[in-house]
C-alpha cells in the first residue's frame, strides 16, 4: 500500500484525544508548513491560522463548539480563519501577490484584471466571498490532516460550532472569519470502521 493510501486509511475523525500526549514541536511545525504550502485560487493564500494553546481560551470555546471534547483534549487546536477583505480585487495585497511572481507591471495589470473579472460576481457579497476563501482553507486543512496521518498523528475536522460566537471570543478583526477548526493529537479509542459509499455510487464515466 502506498504511504498516501496508508495515511488516508489511518486518518479518521478522532473523537477523544489522549490528554497526556503532546505532538513534538518539530512535527507540529511541519503540519503548519503543509498548510502554508497548500495551493490556493490565484495563489491568494487567504487562510490565517490561529493555534489555540491557552487553556482558558479553549475552555471558553468548548461550549461554543457543541461541547465537543476534542477542543480541550487535543494536543494542538488549529482554527483556520480567512482574511476576506484583503482578497478583494482593489486590495494592495492582491497586487503584491501577483508582483511577487516577478512579472512586468503590464503582466501584473493583466493578472489583476482577470482576477477582478473572476471575483466580480462574488466580491461584493460577504457570504459568497467568505465561502470562496473558506473553500480554499479546507484544502489546506485536508492536507494538514492527511500529512499528520503519515506521522501517525490523529486529527478531527470540526465544523460543529457557533460561528459568530467563536469569532467574537477570538476577537477577530473586521473581514476575518472562521472557516474550520482542526484538532490534532493522539487517539484514545480504536479507530471506528471507515464507512464510505461504493465507487460506482460516486463515479460515473462519460
Q: Exposed/middle/buried for 105, CB within 10 Å: 0-12, 13-18, 19+?
A: exposed
CB of 116 to ligand FMN, least distance (A): 30
Q: How far is the CB of 40 from ligand FMN (least distance, A)?
A: 17
Examine residue 13 and tell whether it contacts ligand FMN (CB under 6 A).
Answer: yes
Element (H, E) at 108: helix 105-119
Strand 76-83 versus strand 154-158 pairing type:
unpaired
Nearest approach, Cβ of 72 to ligand FMN (angstroms)?
14
- Which residues in 126-145 contact ligand FMN (CB under 6 A)? none
From residue 166 to residue 205, the character string flagging contacts with ligand FMN as x (rule: CB under 6 A) and all else as - is --------------------------x-x-----------
- Between the CA atoms of 70, 71, 74 and 78, what dihedral angle is there, to the nearest 10 degrees? 120
Do residues 182 and 141 make contact, with C-beta atoms less than 8 angstroms apart?
yes
Q: How many chain residues bind ligand FMN (CB under 6 A)?
A: 11
Please tell me whether residue 157 binds ligand FMN under the rule CB under 6 A: yes
Of the candidates 154, 159, 85, the residue with the CA atom closest to the CA atom of residue 119: 85
Residue choice 96, 160, 164, 189 for contact with ligand FMN (CB under 6 A): 160
Per-residue contact string for residues 84-113; x = within reach of ligand FMN by CB under 6 A: ------------------------------
Least gap, CB of 15 to ligand FMN (angstroms): 6
Nearer to ligand FMN, 52 or 94 (CB): 52
Q: Which residue has the cell 503543509?
A: 34
When asked if residue 156 is in the footprint of ligand FMN (CB under 6 A), the reply is yes
Residue 158: CB atoms within 10 A of its CB come to 21
Q: Considering beta carbons, is residue 13 or 122 the nearer one to ligand FMN?
A: 13
What is the number of H-type helices and E-type strands within the chain? 9, 4
143: which residues sit within 8 A by CB, 6+ positions away?
Answer: 34, 35, 38
**Chain positions contacting ligand FMN, by CB under 6 A:** 12-13, 15, 68, 156-160, 192, 194
Amino acid at each position: 500500500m502506498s504511504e498516501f493510501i496508508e495515511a488516508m486509511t489511518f486518518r479518521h475523525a478522532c473523537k477523544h484525544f489522549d490528554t497526556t500526549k503532546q505532538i513534538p514541536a518539530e512535527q507540529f511545525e511541519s503540519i503548519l508548513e503543509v498548510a502554508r504550502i497548500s495551493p490556493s485560487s490565484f495563489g491568494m493564500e487567504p487562510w490565517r491560522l490561529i493555534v489555540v494553546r491557552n487553556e482558558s481560551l479553549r475552555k471558553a470555546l468548548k461550549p461554543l463548539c457543541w461541547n465537543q471534547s476534542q477542543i480541550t483534549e487535543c494536543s494542538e487546536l488549529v482554527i483556520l480563519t480567512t482574511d476576506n477583505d484583503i482578497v478583494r480585487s482593489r486590495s494592495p495585497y492582491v497586487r503584491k501577490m501577483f508582483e511577487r511572481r516577478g512579472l512586468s507591471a503590464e503582466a501584473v495589470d493583466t493578472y489583476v484584471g482577470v482576477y477582478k473579472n473572476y471575483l466580480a460576481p462574488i466580491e461584493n457579497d460577504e457570504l459568497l466571498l467568505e465561502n470562496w476563501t473558506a473553500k480554499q482553507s479546507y484544502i489546506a486543512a485536508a492536507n494538514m490532516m492527511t500529512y499528520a496521518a503519515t506521522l501517525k498523528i490523529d486529527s478531527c475536522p470540526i465544523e460543529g460550532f457557533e460561528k459568530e460566537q467563536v469569532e467574537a471570543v477570538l476577537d477577530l478583526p473586521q473581514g476575518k472569519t472562521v472557516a474550520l477548526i482542526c484538532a490534532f493529537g493522539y487517539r484514545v479509542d480504536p479507530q471506528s470502521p471507515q464507512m464510505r459509499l461504493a465507487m460506482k455510487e460516486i463515479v460515473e464515466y462519460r
